[in-house]
């Protein structure tokens, strides 16, 4: 009954070049067969391509994908836990704080992939590992704004009233992480969000809504993760991305294995592939800044080492206060 999940995505896309460069994982390809459930906040197409490449190594493995915003995926897992059975085998979501929550409830399997030897130790935990680096900064419509903005002050300027969009931390894991980080930074604090609220922003369900509102010209600029802007610009949308001089929050979209999995070997093989050279090359081709050393970020994006200042906060404090932060945001922006 474990794999009777309602939403199944069977993938048929592929990047054949990656299959040729993929390393031989420690798991025997011919011996692996079965089905796992993959819960993620990645865009559908990206998750599909990842599974397609994995299936070139393990053709007898079926991976069912459930995709939604991080906060909704967490709610689904919480509901499954309360019902007595977590269905997910592998989870890839926005930020490490989310995984700290899972770990605190003993929901994760302890596993450190051998591929983590090529990843900076600050992004590796015994229970989960970052898969890429995503910076949050400023998207702007190049028809409306001709000079690239360079400061978060753009959001608090009185002239910006009704001019911008931002994602809701009640849905977006990245936005929830940003909220926790920025409100604990003395240069921002809750005053930053209170000033933003005064300017009456459009609060969208997620980063995709911000992109849509700015690309269409409905709003002139917004707060967003970097890779979405580069993709849209590449497709011809009148948008560009700017890294504010004060610094940017960075999430790593970790991946982890749920402790309740009945397919541990398949789950480990899937994690290994995503962190491998082939898997990380795929991340770069999809437009993300890879987390594995030795693989360049796509044009227009910066790796963590190239970002002037990364804004961060104590992970334990972020985890312990996430729900309170979201409630405070909801109250503030409901006014």
CA distance 177 to 252: 11
Q: Residue 127, annotated ligand binder?
A: no
Q: Residue 280, Cα to own-chain centre: how many angstroms?
A: 15
3-state helix, strand, coil in the chain (%, to 5): 45, 20, 40
Name 141's bridge partners: 239
> For residue 289, what are its two tokens?
């800044």
Write the CB contacts of 256 (distance below 8 Å, at least 6 apart in sequence). 90, 91, 92, 99, 102, 108, 109, 111, 127, 128, 129, 271
CA distance 196 to 168: 13
Q: State the DSSP code for 108.
A: B
**12 in Cβ contact with 64 (< 8 Å):** no
User: 127, 135, 92: which is closest to 106 by C-alpha?
Assistant: 127
User: 137, 150, 122: which is closest to 241 by C-alpha?
Assistant: 137
**90 in Cβ contact with 36 (< 8 Å):** yes
**First-to-last CA distance in the chain?**
45
CA distance 123 to 112: 12
DSSP, collapsed to helix, strand or coil, labels residue 17 as helix
Q: Is the dihedral of CA 43, 34, 77, 180 positive or negative?
A: negative
Mind giving me the DSSP string for 205-220?
SSHHHHHHHHHTTSSS
Q: Which residues are annotated as a binding site for Fe cation?
A: 227
Q: Which residues are annotated as a binding site?
A: 227
């Amino acid at each position: 009954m474990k794999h009777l999940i309602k939403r199944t995505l069977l993938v048929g896309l592929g990047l054949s070049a990656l299959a040729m460069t993929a390393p031989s994982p420690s798991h025997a390809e011919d011996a692996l067969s079965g089905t796992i459930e993959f819960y993620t906040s990645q865009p559908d197409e990206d998750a599909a391509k990842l599974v397609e490449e994995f299936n070139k190594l393990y053709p007898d493995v079926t991976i069912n994908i459930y995709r939604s915003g991080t906060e909704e995926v967490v709610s689904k897992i919480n509901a499954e836990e309360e019902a007595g059975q977590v269905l997910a085998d592998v989870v890839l979501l926005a930020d490490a704080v989310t995984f700290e929550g899972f770990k605190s409830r003993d929901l994760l399997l302890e596993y450190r992939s051998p591929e983590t030897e090529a990843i900076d130790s600050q992004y590796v935990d015994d229970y989960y590992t970052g898969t890429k680096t995503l910076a949050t900064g400023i998207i702007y419509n190049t028809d409306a704004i001709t000079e690239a903005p360079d400061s978060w002050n753009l959001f608090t300027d009185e002239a910006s009233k009704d001019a911008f969009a931002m994602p809701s931390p009640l849905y977006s894991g990245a936005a929830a992480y940003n909220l926790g980080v920025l409100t604990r930074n003395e240069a921002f604090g809750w005053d930053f969000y209170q000033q933003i609220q005064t300017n009456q922003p459009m609060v969208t369900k997620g980063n995709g809504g911000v992109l849509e509102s700015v690309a269409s010209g409905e709003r002139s600029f917004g707060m967003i993760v970097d890779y979405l802007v580069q993709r849209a610009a590449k497709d011809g949308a009148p948008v560009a991305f700017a890294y504010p001089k004060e610094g940017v929050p960075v999430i790593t979209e970790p991946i982890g294995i749920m402790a309740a999995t009945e397919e541990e070997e398949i789950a480990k093989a899937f994690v290994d592939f995503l962190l491998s050279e082939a898997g990380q090359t795929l991340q770069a081709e999809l437009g993300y800044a890879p987390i594995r050393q030795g693989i360049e970020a796509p044009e227009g994006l910066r790796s963590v080492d190239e970002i002037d200042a990364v804004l961060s906060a104590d992970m334990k404090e972020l985890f312990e206060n996430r729900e309170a932060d979201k409630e405070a945001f909801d109250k503030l922006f409901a006014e």
